[in-house]
């Protein structure tokens, strides 16, 4: 049996700091999106990914991978956004099981409205607090962590630039 490699004091402090910052950031983003737009971050992420996709359309499986959702969660999110009139489903030509999620014109308007506030919040909570060198370090560290947790195919489906 392998010996447990316990965290030393510095590693423990780093881990706790990372957890605290991550949780506080996502809690704040989630709370503000719900307050400002009545949406969870998960729903906003779907809208945002679709708004950036060619033709504002993505195969459901690719959307799930990009949002790091399972298919059930993706389907649930898309169903909610369909009810709101911001997304529609389309059958994939030549693939009876495949479906696309497509951002509607109303969805485009909504994501643009929400994005203005969201990007200001991200800038305020993250980028305005970091020097250019710290931003580079954050991107590099995040990339190393993401690449260590997912295979190359999964990273490509998520749209990872690395």
Instruction: Give pLDDT tens digits for 129-153.
Output: 999 999 999 999 988 888 887 765 5
| Structure token pair of residue 64 | 């799930």
Long-range interactions of 87-94: CB distance < 8 A, separation 24+:
87/46, 87/47, 87/50, 90/57, 92/59
Q: Which of 70, 69, 68, 87 is nearest to 79 (CA)?
A: 87
Cα–Cα dist 42/47, whole Å: 9
Instruction: Give pLDDT tens digits for 39-50.
Output: 999 999 999 999
């Amino acid at each position: 049996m392998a010996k447990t490699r316990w965290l030393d004091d510095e590693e423990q402090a780093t881990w706790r700091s990372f957890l605290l910052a991550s949780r506080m950031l996502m809690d704040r983003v989630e709370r503000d999106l719900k307050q400002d737009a009545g949406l969870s971050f998960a729903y906003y992420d779907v809208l945002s990914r679709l708004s950036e996709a060619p033709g504002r359309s993505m195969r459901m499986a690719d959307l799930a991978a990009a949002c790091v959702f399972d298919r059930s969660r993706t389907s649930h999110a898309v169903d909610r956004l369909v009810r709101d009139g911001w997304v529609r489903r389309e059958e994939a030509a030549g693939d009876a099981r495949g479906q696309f999620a497509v951002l509607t014109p109303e969805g485009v308007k909504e994501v643009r409205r929400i994005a203005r506030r969201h990007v200001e919040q991200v800038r305020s909570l993250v980028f305005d607090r970091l020097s250019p060198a710290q931003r580079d370090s954050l991107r590099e560290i995040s990339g190393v962590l993401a690449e260590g947790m997912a295979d190359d195919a999964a990273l490509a489906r998520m749209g990872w630039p690395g």
